[in-house]
Amino acid sequence: MLLLDHYIPPLNGLQVLQAVLAAVKANRLERPSYIIAMSSQASKNVRMVEAGADAGFVKWDVPQWTVWGRR
């Protein structure tokens, strides 16, 4: 699992996501089972989901994600 906060200096979460997905496409990296966008701004999460994240949550709501209960 990869949790991406929007603010990850010197890049932002969207830039990290794009780099991860490019590495996956080039067969240089195995894609994480889940890529989760987590920002305090919902609009940032929407952009990361549109770019390829599996889910996006306002930071404070991440513990409520339904997948946490699966094993």
Q: How many residues does the chain have?
A: 71
Total structural domains within the chain: 1
CATH number at residue 42: 3.40.50.2300
Judge whether 70 lies within some domain: no
Residue 11 lies in a domain: yes
* 29 is a domain residue: yes
Query: Which run of H or E residues covers position 17?
Result: helix 13-25
Query: Does residue 69 sit within a domain?
Result: no
- pLDDT tens digits along 6-57: 677 888 889 999 999 999 999 999 999 989 888 888 898 999 999 999 988 8
Domain limits for position 25: 2-63
Q: Residue 15 has which token pair? A: 């830039």
pLDDT of residue 71: 58
Predicted model pTM: 0.82
Instruction: Give domain status of residue 25, yes or no.
Output: yes
